[in-house]
């Protein structure tokens, strides 16, 4: 039976083909080759395509075993008069892998994604009404994945296509937040928040909603119809557990939301989520410290508030040691001001870092060091005063700034002291500082200061400095322009560069420094940074200051939080993390601002405390040994009946240098060969093996330990074998220059996806695709597609005689479009014929 099949292609480039394949017969006759199907390409075993063999995968006993990673194209809907509403897959997954389900025709279809353990208990679901559903794997292990055709089960219809991505990039892995739903979220049972499209009376709205909910058998308990948002409460119902072998029952709240969204009678409908507050300190003036939430500190404090074993040395004017909001967090310290007049405390260097004031009688004292220290580690959550960034950490006050400022010599001595190195005091602290904060500087560079910084850094001290306040290039300032420091620029309450902040290529990161010319948050106070202070009368208090002096301690405090989680955090770690080059994490600890990537105003971005502590957690959970550690991916390999080769990657999950010493297999039918770098090809030889399931191990030994990779191989056509590299029946179509179908054929995995088309000499286009919804079209959204030489740039091939070796890739489309057929500016439609 002939049927017309139409295809639509993406972009066609009129590039003459040359050089590929082998000309065998100049008198004309044949084009042949092989379709390249990735191992990760898999087709739903029960689709509507009548040219593909169908095997039910509706229940766990018939679960379709698939590889990981995988891109599965599937169909949900009526097949031969019976509704296929469930596709179950069985797969080995890794913790934190993302599973995503893309529904091709979201306007008509609502497909849901579920994850179950081997005990058939649901562990995650994504049951929203958007195009994408996605969930994260909670732990390594074997799972059932179920794609459930909610709309097919409930409303019937012609069915539709989907794509299931496991460990591969789908169209997007991010579901639209406002359409996302999960039964694992906390929300008030039977409560919905809705917004009608237009204002209407309560009675009219209730009537409409009742109609929309008719299909759910849910009834309205109450309706609070306010202008901003309406709250609908349902009457409790007895939700029966679904009788399917994998439970797909969902809360009544979600059933109701799905019904209202499908009816499109409201602008939105969503659960009444239960939100929990992040840790919020009870300090009196915390509400005025806009600069702390600006860098996600409340969220970070849920993870850590700082450890008392982390010490931040504040090299500054000293600290008012008896300030009530600081005294509990101070340790040791020293006064390195060597000039008695500058020191204004009756002596030169001494063991007393108390700040007597830097006013010298000519001006009010700044008590700058007290302010900086409070930002880092003011005693917090004590119902008084202000909140510090890392309030569990300790401050080591080191005094260098006197009435006339500081000298390079005094500054150098304080740096050495903080690093527990020999210095002019002839003393060292019991424990060196983990972090140094220097909210100071001046124009010009200093080799002396650079040398001290280099030495301190070599001891493991992370050094944070302010960029300066001249709105000039910080490269020419010291210590801002020194090597080996974390240079911090300032932003205001709007997270934009403060007008005074220096900038330049030396800026590593930005943090709140304030701008007291404005009150953007309308709290009645200028937008400075609020912290601890004193005055020349000895009164303790708090004040808003602005400057890169205020920005640097925010960064120092965030680093203290990171150190509290991951004590081994080194200066090099910080450098590599900021650059995005750390071997154990690619995550950033800042929010990109300004130009994409690093720029001269914000460096690598506005520091974000939550991202930072999470990175610290990642580092903590990563192997910390300095020795190599052998790891393999995948950890288990399964060969489906027709699968001959698989890839294996061996890599170093530790540090140092990994040397593979030996690779052995425990069975003679199994062999491993190195391809390149870390990649190996695992091959099975089924010769002389009778039908059955075989097991073997690949044992890899190295200087980083020994790893065993299990292998399972099937010799038979059992459908319960793990499938991979299977796109079902693929239609291969040859088109003339006018895009008219000349001839076509089908191929399958059993044929090795080889094809052969008889054709006269001439110029042709060659395309291939699947038609799993059996609608007569290939390349619908959710179907696989390929073109020679690539689908993104299909070129004519010249056939002068026969051409063989015309191979090209067929796979999931690079992106899903809104229309049923791929649209492009050069779209052409091709008729195609299939001969049986």
Partner 1 sequence: MKQLIRPILLAVSISLLTGCSMAQSADQEHKKADIRTSKSQISSKLITNTEEWSNIYYSTKAKGMLPKPELPSIDFTQKNLLFVTMGEQPSTGYAIEYKDGSVVVEDETLKITVDLTTPPTGSVQATLMTEPVLFLEISKSGYKHIEIYDSDAHLLDSIKTLF
Q: Kindly list the catalytic residues.
A: 316, 368, 549
Report whether 164 contacts 147 (CB < 8 A).
yes
470 belongs to the binding site for partner 1 (CB under 8 A): yes
The distance of closest approach from Cβ of residue 243 to partner 1 in the complex, given in angstroms and rounded to an integer, is 59
The distance of closest approach from Cβ of residue 390 to partner 1 in the complex, given in angstroms and rounded to an integer, is 21
546 belongs to the binding site for partner 1 (CB under 8 A): yes
The distance of closest approach from Cβ of residue 408 to partner 1 in the complex, given in angstroms and rounded to an integer, is 7
Which of 488/794 has CB closer to partner 1? 488
SS3 call for 142: strand
Mutual orientation of helices 368-377 and 548-565 as an angle, nearest 10°? 30
Alpha-carbon span 503 to 600, nearest angstrom: 5
DSSP code for 782: T
Q: How many residues bind partner 1 (CB under 8 A)?
A: 64
Of 5, 21, 7, 43, nearest to 749 by C-alpha is: 43
Alpha-carbon span 670 to 696, nearest angstrom: 8
- Other C-beta atoms lying within 10 Å of the C-beta of residue 691: 11
The distance of closest approach from Cβ of residue 406 to partner 1 in the complex, given in angstroms and rounded to an integer, is 4
Residue of the chain from 298, 374, 441, 484 that contacts partner 1 (CB under 8 A): 441
324 belongs to the binding site for partner 1 (CB under 8 A): no
Q: Taken in order 208, 209, 210, 215, is the CA torsion positive or negative?
A: positive
What distance lies between CA 651 and its chain's CA centroid? 22
Which of 509/640 has CB closer to partner 1? 509
Of 246, 378, 398, nearest to 314 by C-alpha is: 398
165 belongs to the binding site for partner 1 (CB under 8 A): no
Question: Applying CB under 8 A, which part among 25-33, 144-152, 464-472, 794-802 lies near partner 1?
Answer: 464-472
Of 110, 138, 81, nearest to 255 by C-alpha is: 110
Cβ neighbors of 94 (< 8 A, separation 6 or more) are 68, 137, 140, 167
Which of 555/715 has CB closer to partner 1? 555
The continuous run of DSSP H or E covering 416 comes out as helix 408-418
What residues numbered 700-719 form the site for partner 1, per CB under 8 A?
none
The distance of closest approach from Cβ of residue 346 to partner 1 in the complex, given in angstroms and rounded to an integer, is 21
Binding mask 55-94 toward partner 1 (x if CB under 8 A, else -) reads: ----------------------------------------
Which of 545/764 has CB closer to partner 1? 545
469 belongs to the binding site for partner 1 (CB under 8 A): yes
Which of 442/752 has CB closer to partner 1? 442
Report whether 607 contacts 555 (CB < 8 A).
yes
The distance of closest approach from Cβ of residue 812 to partner 1 in the complex, given in angstroms and rounded to an integer, is 39
- Other C-beta atoms lying within 10 Å of the C-beta of residue 537: 6
439 belongs to the binding site for partner 1 (CB under 8 A): yes
**Residue 439 CA: distances (Å) to CA of 478, 550, 551, 653, 834:** 11, 7, 8, 39, 76
The distance of closest approach from Cβ of residue 527 to partner 1 in the complex, given in angstroms and rounded to an integer, is 9
Cis ω for the linkage preceding 690 (within 30 of 0) = no
Residue of the chain from 177, 362, 690, 826 that contacts partner 1 (CB under 8 A): 362
Tokens coding 48: 């509507």
228 belongs to the binding site for partner 1 (CB under 8 A): no
Question: Applying CB under 8 A, which part among 51-59, 362-370, 566-574, 746-754 lies near partner 1?
Answer: 362-370
Which of 295/616 has CB closer to partner 1? 295
Buried b (16+ CB within 10 A) or exposed e, 430-468: eebbbbbbbbbbeeeebeebbebbebbbeebbbbbbbbb
What residues numbered 171-190 form the site for partner 1, per CB under 8 A?
none
602 belongs to the binding site for partner 1 (CB under 8 A): yes
The distance of closest approach from Cβ of residue 331 to partner 1 in the complex, given in angstroms and rounded to an integer, is 22
The distance of closest approach from Cβ of residue 199 to partner 1 in the complex, given in angstroms and rounded to an integer, is 39
Alpha-carbon span 152 to 427, nearest angstrom: 78
Which of 149/385 has CB closer to partner 1? 385
Tokens coding 765: 């286009």
Residue of the chain from 41, 126, 338, 366 that contacts partner 1 (CB under 8 A): 366
448 belongs to the binding site for partner 1 (CB under 8 A): no
Unique residue bearing structure tokens 């404090």: 301
What residues numbered 399-418 form the site for partner 1, per CB under 8 A?
400-401, 404-408, 411
Note the helical H segments in 11-120. Answer: none
SS3 call for 291: coil
440 belongs to the binding site for partner 1 (CB under 8 A): yes
378 belongs to the binding site for partner 1 (CB under 8 A): no
The continuous run of DSSP H or E covering 88 comes out as strand 86-93
Longest dimension (CA), the chain: 107
Cβ neighbors of 534 (< 8 A, separation 6 or more) are 320, 323, 355, 365, 367, 370, 540, 541
Which of 33/512 has CB closer to partner 1? 512
553 belongs to the binding site for partner 1 (CB under 8 A): no
Which of 442/583 has CB closer to partner 1? 442
Residue of the chain from 497, 554, 803, 832 that contacts partner 1 (CB under 8 A): 497
SS (H, E, C) 565-578: HCCCCCHHHHHHHH
Binding mask 501-520 toward partner 1 (x if CB under 8 A, else -) reads: --x-----------xxxx--
592 belongs to the binding site for partner 1 (CB under 8 A): no
Binding mask 332-361 toward partner 1 (x if CB under 8 A, else -) reads: --------------------------xx--
Which of 102/546 has CB closer to partner 1? 546
The distance of closest approach from Cβ of residue 74 to partner 1 in the complex, given in angstroms and rounded to an integer, is 46
In degrees and rounded to multiples of 5, residue 412 shows phi and psi of -60, -45
466 belongs to the binding site for partner 1 (CB under 8 A): yes
Which of 560/606 has CB closer to partner 1? 606
**Residue 239 CA: distances (Å) to CA of 127, 185, 191, 719:** 17, 18, 15, 36
Residue of the chain from 75, 150, 301, 500 that contacts partner 1 (CB under 8 A): 500
Alpha-carbon span 48 to 29, nearest angstrom: 33
801 belongs to the binding site for partner 1 (CB under 8 A): no
The distance of closest approach from Cβ of residue 464 to partner 1 in the complex, given in angstroms and rounded to an integer, is 12
Tokens coding 322: 């008896």
**Residue 342 CA: distances (Å) to CA of 317, 333, 417:** 11, 18, 20
Binding mask 268-307 toward partner 1 (x if CB under 8 A, else -) reads: -----------------x--x-------------------
Which of 385/628 has CB closer to partner 1? 385
**Residue 483 CA: distances (Å) to CA of 433, 490, 506, 554, 722:** 19, 20, 9, 20, 55
829 belongs to the binding site for partner 1 (CB under 8 A): no
Residue of the chain from 368, 457, 749, 832 that contacts partner 1 (CB under 8 A): 368
Residue of the chain from 287, 364, 580, 776 that contacts partner 1 (CB under 8 A): 364
Unique residue bearing structure tokens 């800026």: 507
The distance of closest approach from Cβ of residue 361 to partner 1 in the complex, given in angstroms and rounded to an integer, is 8
Q: Taken in order 369, 375, 378, 382, is the CA torsion positive or negative?
A: positive
Identify the burial level of 688 via C-beta atoms within 10 angstroms of its C-beta, where 0-12 means exposed, 13-18 middle and 19 or more buried: exposed
The distance of closest approach from Cβ of residue 522 to partner 1 in the complex, given in angstroms and rounded to an integer, is 15
Binding site for partner 1 (CB under 8 A): 285, 288, 316-317, 358-359, 362-364, 366, 368, 371, 400-401, 404-408, 411, 439-442, 444, 466-471, 478, 492, 494, 496-500, 503, 515-518, 525-526, 528, 530, 533, 541-550, 552, 593-594, 601-602
């Amino acid at each position: 039976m002939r049927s017309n099949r139409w295809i639509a292609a993406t972009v066609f480039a009129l590039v003459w083909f040359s050089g590929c394949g082998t000309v065998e017969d100049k008198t004309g006759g044949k084009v042949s080759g092989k379709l390249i199907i990735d191992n990760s390409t898999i087709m739903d075993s029960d689709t509507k395509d009548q040219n593909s063999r169908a095997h039910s995968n509706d229940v766990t006993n018939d679960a379709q075993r698939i590889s990981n990673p995988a891109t599965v194209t599937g169909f949900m809907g009526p097949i031969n008069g019976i509704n296929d509403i469930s596709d179950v897959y069985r797969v080995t997954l890794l913790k934190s892998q993302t599973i995503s389900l893309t529904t091709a025709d979201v306007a008509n279809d609502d497909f849901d994604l579920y994850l179950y353990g081997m005990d058939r208990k649901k562990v995650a679901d994504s049951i929203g009404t958007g195009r994408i559903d996605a969930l994260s794997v909670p732990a390594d292990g074997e799972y059932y994945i179920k794609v459930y055709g909610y709309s097919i089960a409930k409303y019937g219809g012609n069915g539709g296509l989907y794509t299931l991505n496991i460990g591969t990039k789908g169209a997007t892995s991010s579901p639209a937040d406002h359409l996302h739903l999960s039964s694992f979220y906390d929300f008030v049972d039977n409560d919905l928040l809705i917004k009608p499209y237009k204002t209407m009376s309560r009675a009219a709205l209730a009537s409409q909603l009742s109609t929309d909910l008719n299909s759910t058998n849910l009834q309205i308990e109450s309706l609070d119809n306010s202008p901003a948002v309406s709250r609908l409460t349902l009457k409790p119902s007895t939700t029966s557990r679904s009788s399917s072998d994998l439970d797909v029952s969902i809360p009544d709240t979600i059933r109701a939301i799905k019904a209202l969204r499908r009816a499109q009678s409201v602008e939105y409908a969503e659960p009444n989520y239960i939100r929990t507050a992040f840790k919020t300190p009870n300090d009196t003036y915390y509400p005025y410290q806009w600069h702390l939430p600006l860098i996600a500190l409340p969220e970070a404090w849920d993870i850590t508030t700082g450890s008392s074993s982390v010490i931040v040395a504040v090299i500054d004017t000293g600290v008012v040691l008896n300030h009530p909001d600081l005294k509990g967090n101070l340790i040791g310290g020293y006064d390195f001001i060597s000039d008695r007049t500058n020191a204004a405390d009756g002596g030169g260097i001494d063991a007393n870092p108390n700040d007597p004031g830097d006013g010298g009688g000519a001006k009010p004292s700044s008590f700058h060091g007290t302010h900086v220290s409070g930002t880092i580690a003011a005693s917090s959550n004590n119902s008084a005063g202000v909140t510090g960034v890392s309030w569990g950490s300790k401050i080591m006050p080191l005094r260098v700034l006197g009435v006339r400022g500081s000298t390079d010599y005094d500054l150098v001595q304080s740096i050495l002291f903080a690093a527990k190195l020999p210095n002019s005091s002839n003393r060292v602290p019991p424990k060196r500082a983990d972090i140094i904060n220097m909210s100071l500087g001046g124009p010009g560079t200093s080799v002396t200061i650079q040398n001290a910084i280099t030495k301190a850094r070599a001891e493991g001290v992370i050094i944070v400095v302010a960029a300066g306040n001249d709105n000039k290039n910080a490269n020419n300032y010291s210590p801002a322009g020194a090597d080996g420091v974390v240079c911090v620029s300032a932003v205001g309450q709007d997270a934009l560069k403060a007008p005074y902040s220096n900038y330049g290529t030396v800026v590593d990161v930005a943090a709140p420094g304030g701008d007291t010319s404005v009150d953007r948050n309308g709290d009645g106070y200028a937008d400075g940074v609020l912290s601890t202070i004193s005055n020349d009368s000895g009164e303790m208090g708090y004040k808003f200051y602005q400057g890169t002096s205020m920005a640097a301690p925010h960064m120092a405090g965030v680093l203290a939080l990171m150190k509290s989680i991951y004590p081994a955090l080194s200066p090099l770690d910080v450098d590599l993390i900021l650059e995005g080059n750390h071997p154990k994490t690619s995550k950033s600890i800042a929010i990109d601002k300004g130009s994409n990537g690093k720029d001269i105003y914000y460096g690598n971005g506005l520091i974000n405390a939550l991202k930072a502590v999470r990175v610290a957690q990642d580092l903590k959970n990563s192997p910390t040994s300095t020795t190599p550690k052998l790891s393999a991916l995948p950890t288990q390999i399964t060969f489906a009946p027709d699968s001959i080769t698989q890839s294996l990657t061996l890599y170093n999950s530790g540090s140092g240098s990994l040397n593979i010493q030996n690779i052995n297999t425990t069975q003679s039918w199994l062999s491993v060969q190195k391809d390149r770098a870390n990649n190996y090809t695992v091959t099975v030889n089924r010769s002389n093996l009778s039908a059955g399931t075989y097991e073997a191990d690949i044992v890899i030994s190295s200087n980083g330990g020994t790893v065993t990779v299990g292998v399972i191989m099937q010799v038979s056509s059992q459908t319960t074998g793990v499938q991979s590299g299977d796109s079902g029946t693929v239609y291969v179509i040859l088109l003339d220059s006018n895009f008219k179908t000349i001839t076509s054929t089908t191929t399958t995995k059993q044929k090795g996806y080889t094809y052969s088309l008889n054709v006269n000499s001439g110029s042709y286009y060659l395309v291939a695709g699947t038609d799993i919804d059996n609608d007569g079209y290939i390349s619908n959204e959710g179907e696989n597609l390929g073109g020679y030489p690539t689908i993104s740039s299909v070129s004519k091939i010249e056939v002068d005689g026969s051409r063989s070796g015309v191979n090209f890739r067929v796979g999931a489309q690079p992106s899903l479009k809104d229309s049923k057929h791929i649209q492009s500016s050069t779209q052409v439609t091709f008729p195609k014929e299939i001969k049986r």
